[in-house]
Amino acid sequence: MNLTDLVNPHILSQPVYEPGRPIEDVARELGLNPGTIIKLASNENSLGTSPLALNAMRQALEGAALYPDGGCIQLRARLATRHDLASDQIVVGNGSNELLELLGHVFLRPGDEVLMGTPAFIVYKLVTLLFGATPVEVPLCDHVHDLSAMAAAVTDRTKMIFLPSPNNPTGTTNEASEMINWVRSLPENIVVIIDEAYAEYLDKEPDWSDLLAAGRPLVILRTFSKIFGLAALRVGYGRMNSELAGLLQRSRQPFNVNAVAQAGALAALDDHDWIQRCRQTNREGLEQLELGLADLGLPFVPSVGNFVLVKVGDGKVLFSALQRVGVIVRPVGVYGLPEWVRITVGSAAQNERLLSALAEFRGAM
Ligand SMILES: Cc1ncc(COP(=O)(O)O)c(C=O)c1O
């Protein structure tokens, strides 16, 4: 029997997502002490997790024998209040990645075109391919999404459009008013997904309320993996109209978000001082990194997220060299940027260590 004869053919060519390398894995491979390794590869929160969330999650573990609340009732109610919406306009997922996949389940089929910028978060393309649809990639202009070019690329087959704001891996964003007018200008039969994984790092978050109220197929995604420091727990959510939310709810697994994650997310939302400290620490860290990179003469894209894209010559070579001294960054060849690496903003000490290592390898770049 040949297994490949049984498989849905598009799965054979489906690319595999390459995550940032885990600390333990690098430690094992290079014989390093995991405690000395720093990971600046996956845009996680350098301050860790909110103490309130940690406490709530420890308590939630006591109830591990019971299934979680499959409807995320409390969390959705809390998020609805936060965004001035009704609970049935919120869908919670196992990370915002799950919501991206659910959108594929609900909307995509072979023949559909899905518009996205390039480089932009790679999962948009992976989900598109997974459902046999066709990615249509529109190059960024000066590292920012080219909204007019994207609008011009719309065809009768365009089913979905992704716009990350801020974008990964560039750390850039479009003006809020420009994005809002752009969404308004798009045909109403296109599902528009605004991915705001890093929005909490912005000075001012865009206000989508009018557009959400207008009822068009629009989804605003957020995650608890970044500023809320819960990447390991996998929680993300989307805001949308209730009809669309109902369709996503039908397509998810019955208990897609575990109880510990729900408890952590609920508590993290209330830890305002801690979130404020994360925002401030990130601002300072970003400034430290950008000043250090400028001193080293390394070109970078000014960022509004918790990471920065840096031009280093050969991204893979630098990635390997940094790894050997216990610093994990992200090479971005998969984004068509072989000369660049993406570096997450760390603590002041981590940033300093990264900059010293870069200074050491500067000559070889
Ligand atoms: C732009 C963007 N969207 C979504 C995600 C996925 O986040 P989650 O951990 O919620 O699945 C990421 C993760 O890095 C991201 O950069």
User: Over the stretch 136-166, which tens digit does the pLDDT of each residue have?
Assistant: 999 999 999 999 999 999 999 999 999 999 9
**Same-domain status, 207 and 92:** yes
Task: Please check whether residues 13 and 73 belong to one and the same domain.
Answer: no
Q: Give which of 300, 276, 120 is closest to 203, Cα–Cα.
A: 276
Centre of ligand 1 to C-alpha 364, Å, is: 32
Residue 226 backbone phi and psi in degrees, to 5: -105, -95
Residues 73 and 195 in one domain: yes
Distance 96 CA to ligand 1 centre (A): 6
State the amino acid at position 160 in one-letter form: M
Same domain, 230 and 144: yes
The pLDDT value given to residue 1: 84
Q: What is the CATH number of the domain that holds 115?
A: 3.40.640.10
Q: What local confidence, expressed as pLDDT, does residue 204 receive?
A: 92
43 lines ligand 1 (CB under 6 A): yes
pLDDT for residue 363 is more than 90: no
197/207 Cα distance (integer angstroms): 15
Ligand 1 contact, 144 CB (< 6 A): no
Q: How many A from CA of 164 to the centre of ligand 1? A: 10
Structure tokens belonging to residue 139: 């190059």
The answer to whether the beta carbons of residues 40 and 327 sit under 8 Å apart is yes
Residue 6 CA, ligand 1 centroid: distance in Å: 32
Whole-angstrom Cα Rg for the chain: 21
**Mutation pick for ligand 1 pocket among 49, 172, 223, 307 (CB with most ligand atoms within 8 Å):** 223
How distant, in Å, are the alpha carbons of 52, 136, 274 from that of 280? Answer: 19, 37, 10
Instruction: Give the pLDDT mean for 347-361.
Output: 96
Tens of pLDDT, residue by residue over 204-258, are 999 999 999 998 999 999 999 999 999 999 999 999 999 999 999 999 999 999 9
Task: Give CA–CA dist 334/118, Å, rounded.
Answer: 11
> What mean pLDDT, rounded, does the chain reach?
96
Query: What does the alpha-carbon distance between residue 14 and residue 20 come to, in Å, rounded to a whole number?
Result: 19
Residue identifier of the C-alpha nearest atom 2 of ligand 1: 197
The predicted model scores a pTM of 0.96
pLDDT band at 20 (very low <50, low <70, confident <90, very high): confident
**Same domain flag for 18 and 105:** no
21 has a pLDDT exceeding 90:
no
Ligand 1 touching residue 20 (CB < 6 A): no
Compute φ and ψ for 157, nearest 5 degrees.
-95, -5
Are 208 and 227 members of one domain? yes
278 & 318 share domain:
yes
Which residue's CA lies nearest to atom 12 of ligand 1?
197
Looking at the structure, do residues 36 and 63 belong to the same domain, yes or no? no
CA distance 140 to 146: 5
Residues 126, 21: one domain?
A: no
Q: What DSSP line would sit under 290-318, residue for residue?
A: HHHHHHTT--EE--SSSEEEEE-S-HHHH
Give the Cα separation of 50 and 71 in Å (integer). Answer: 24
Query: What would the pLDDT profile of 69-105 be if each residue is shown by its tens digit?
Result: 999 999 999 999 999 999 999 999 999 999 999 999 9
The answer for residues whose C-beta is within 8 angstroms of residue 289's C-beta and 6 or more apart is 308, 343, 345, 351, 354, 355
Q: Which amino acid type is present at position 180?
A: I
Answer yes or no: is the C-beta of 225 below 6 A from any ligand 1 atom: yes
State the Cα–Cα distance between residues 271 and 248, nearest whole angstrom: 29
Let me know whether 56 and 44 are in one domain.
no
Range of the domain at 24: 3-48+273-364
Domains: count for the chain: 2
Percent of the chain clearing pLDDT 90 (strictly above)? 96
Statement to judge: residues 44 and 70 lie in one domain: no
Distance, CA of 190 to CA of 120 (rounded, Å): 19
Mutate to test the pocket of ligand 1, among 96, 172, 235, 303 (most ligand atoms within 8 A of CB): 96
Torsion, CA 312, CA 314, CA 318, CA 319, rounded to 10: 110
Q: State the closest ligand 1 atom to the C-alpha of 224, by its place in the atom list counted from 1.
A: 10
Are 147 and 99 found together in one domain?
A: yes
197 within ligand 1 shell (Cβ under 6 A): yes
Q: Which residue's CA is minimally distant from atom 15 of ligand 1?
A: 197
Tell me which of 236, 270, 304 is where a domain ends. 270
